[in-house]
């Protein structure tokens, strides 16, 4: 199997850590560059002892240099904040390097929407038309031809995959969608901050980001494309005292209130039939975050409530793997002409 040289910019965050973990066992994507301004000079295995004696552990962490990246890498992961990635992506692409961006800089197709929600101007609008939104189940063919992939957010991944079959099969009224989602604390990033300290998170439960969480326009963009018209929905995120995982409970009115539970579930099964990572659970079974931990699986349950005329979809992913690093590697696999599941066939770590 041909190997491809990978660069990782932003090695110190949780997503970067997860990329390094997954690449250590990947048969074709080999880490060739690891970047962090704060940790430059350290050996990767020194900074992350869990990687010691694994492939890539002897790489010296360095400050990002696009010219050096063009020499060392075939593809680069940008695990950096929104507003930073756009400036890094331009010289990489000019240098012939493919890019998978973890930030929101290329997720939103409309630069005005980006500026409204992220409060700063987009300086690489010329790249928006060529950026592909990186959910493999929806855009695999386009990802395979792309030079720039916008890796989706974790909440949007969980929500869009949960809604996809209901929208594709015309089961629900799009304007009625309500997404009630919960995330583990790793979704808030690794930077030390009072709201995510152990004593602030343990033994409590809270909502945040209301009413304008930045993942809202990303979800609305993709749902609108699926619906074929502009859709506005309600999205409420919550922080729960667990390390990793996302659980989205999605409510929407049924177009046909007489739709039976079996008919609703059959629509989901037929939509995802043959898909390697979307698991529609048996009737009566409900998903749990522990059963997808460390994997690319999205577990989905479908419940229809005849009393209220609503469809309830329960969608669960691991935010760090399926919602970030694993999905980025799946996108890189496609961009390099590899099977999408290459290096991502691990069982859940329950």
The C-alpha atoms of residue 279 and residue 323 are separated, in whole angstroms, by: 16
Q: What is the 3-state secondary structure (H, E, C) of 109-157?
A: CCHHHHHHHHCCCCCCHHHCCCCEECCHHHHHHHHHHCCEEECCCHHHH
Asked if the model's pLDDT at residue 196 lies above 90, the reply is no
How confident is the model at residue 187, as a pLDDT? 80
pLDDT bracket for residue 172 (50, 70, 90): very high
Lowest mean pLDDT segment, chosen from 113-122, 186-195, 197-206:
186-195
Asked if the model's pLDDT at residue 58 lies above 80, the reply is yes
Closest Cα partner for 326 from 342, 350, 338?
342
How confident is the model at residue 198, as a pLDDT? 83
Q: In this prediction, what percent of the chain has a pLDDT beyond 70?
A: 100
How confident is the model at residue 199, as a pLDDT? 82
How confident is the model at residue 141, as a pLDDT? 98
Residues 6 or more apart in contact with residue 242 via CB below 8 angstroms: 184, 185, 289
Residue 197, phi then psi, degrees to nearest 5: -65, 155
How confident is the model at residue 342, as a pLDDT? 98
pLDDT bracket for residue 156 (50, 70, 90): very high
pLDDT bracket for residue 155 (50, 70, 90): very high
How confident is the model at residue 87, as a pLDDT? 95
Q: Between vectors from CA 334 to CA 329 and to CA 337, what angle results, nearest 5°?
A: 125
Q: In this prediction, what percent of the chain has a pLDDT beyond 90?
A: 93
| Domains present along the chain, CATH in parentheses | 4-130 (3.40.50.720), 155-318 (3.30.360.10)
Q: Which is catalytic among the residues 35, 154, 321, 336?
A: 154
DSSP per position, 50-109: GGTTSTTTTPBPB---HHHHHHH-SEEEE---TTTHHHHHHHHHHTT-EEEE-SSTTT-S
Mapped onto helix, strand or coil, the DSSP state of residue 309 is coil
Asked if the model's pLDDT at residue 190 lies above 80, the reply is no
pLDDT tens per residue across span 324-341 = 999 999 999 999 999 999
How confident is the model at residue 82, as a pLDDT? 94
How confident is the model at residue 19, as a pLDDT? 97
pLDDT tens per residue across span 260-277 = 999 999 999 999 999 999
Lowest mean pLDDT segment, chosen from 139-143, 260-264, 297-301:
260-264
Asked if the model's pLDDT at residue 191 lies above 80, the reply is no
How confident is the model at residue 189, as a pLDDT? 75
Is 154 part of the annotated catalytic residue set? yes
Asked if the model's pLDDT at residue 298 lies above 80, the reply is yes
The C-alpha atoms of residue 17 and residue 47 are separated, in whole angstroms, by: 10
The stretch 34-54 carries a mean pLDDT of: 95
Asked if the model's pLDDT at residue 188 lies above 80, the reply is no
pLDDT bracket for residue 25 (50, 70, 90): very high
Asked if the model's pLDDT at residue 285 lies above 80, the reply is yes
Mapped onto helix, strand or coil, the DSSP state of residue 187 is helix
Asked if the model's pLDDT at residue 350 lies above 90, the reply is no
How confident is the model at residue 116, as a pLDDT? 96
How confident is the model at residue 175, as a pLDDT? 96
The average confidence (pLDDT) of the chain is 95
pLDDT bracket for residue 349 (50, 70, 90): confident
Closest Cα partner for 82 from 99, 106, 98?
106
| Other C-beta atoms lying within 10 Å of the C-beta of residue 134 | 29
How confident is the model at residue 201, as a pLDDT? 84
Name the pTM for this structure.
0.95
């Amino acid at each position: 199997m041909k190997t491809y040289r990978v660069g990782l910019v932003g090695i110190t965050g949780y997503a970067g850590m997860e990329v390094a973990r997954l690449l250590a066992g990947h048969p074709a994507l080999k880490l060739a560059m690891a970047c962090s301004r704060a940790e430059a000079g350290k050996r990767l295995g020194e900074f992350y002892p869990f990687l010691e004696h694994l492939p890539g552990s002897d790489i010296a962490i360095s400050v990002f240099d696009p010219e050096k990246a063009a020499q060392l890498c075939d593809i680069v992961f940008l695990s950096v904040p929104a507003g930073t990635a756009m400036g890094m992506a331009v010289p990489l692409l000019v240098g012939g390097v493919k890019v998978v961006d973890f930030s929101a800089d290329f997720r939103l197709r409309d630069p005005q929407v980006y500026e409204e929600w992220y409060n700063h101007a987009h300086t690489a609008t010329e790249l928006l038309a060529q950026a592909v939104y990186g959910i493999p189940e929806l855009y695999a063919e386009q990802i395979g031809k792309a030079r720039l992939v916008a890796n989706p957010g974790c909440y949007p991944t969980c929500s869009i995959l949960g809604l996809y079959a209901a929208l594709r099969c015309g089961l629900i009224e799009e304007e009625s969608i309500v997404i009630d989602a919960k995330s583990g604390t790793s979704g808030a990033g690794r930077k030390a901050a009072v709201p995510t300290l152990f004593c602030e998170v343990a033994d409590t439960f809270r909502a945040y980001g209301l009413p304008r969480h930045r993942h809202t326009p990303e979800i609305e963009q993709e749902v609108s494309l699926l619906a074929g018209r502009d859709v506005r929905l309600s999205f409420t995120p919550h922080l729960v005292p667990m390390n990793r995982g996302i659980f989205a409970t999605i409510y929407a009115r049924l177009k046909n209130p007489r739709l039976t539970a079996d008919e609703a579930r059959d629509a989901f099964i037929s939509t995802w039939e043959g898909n390697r990572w979307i698991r529609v659970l048996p009737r009566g079974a409900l998903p749990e975050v522990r059963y997808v931990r460390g994997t690319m699986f999205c577990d989905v349950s479908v419940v229809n409530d005849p009393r209220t005329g609503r469809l309830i979809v329960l969608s669960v992913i691991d935010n760090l793997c399926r919602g970030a690093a694993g999905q980025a590697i799946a996108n890189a696999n496609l961009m390099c002409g590899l099977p999408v599941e290459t290096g991502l066939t691990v069982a859940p770590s329950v």
